[in-house]
Amino acid sequence: MVRTGARIVVDEVFLSGAESQRRFLAALDGLDVLWVGVRCDAAEAVHRGVRYDVEVDTTHAEPVTCAKTVAARVY
């Protein structure tokens, strides 16, 4: 669908950190992708080694603020 021009949002938890992201990178080769890291309590470690284009922290910001931050990078 993406390769035909559809704009897709994927909500994924990288349980294997950077290795999980590498698998996605291989599948998405050649596509324009915006990586968004949604952070929460510091005790979570799923973000270790994963690179994002933009990050939001739902611990310290309202959901609408986080959504506007992401939307600003898309449009």
CATH number at residue 13: 3.40.50.300
Whole-angstrom Cα distance, residue 45 to residue 17? 8
pLDDT of residue 69: 93
**Residues of the chain with confidence (pLDDT) below 50:** none
Task: Tell me if 8 sits within 8 A of 1, measured CB to CB.
Answer: yes
What global pTM score does this model have?
A: 0.55
Domain region containing 65? 2-74
Domain count, the chain: 1
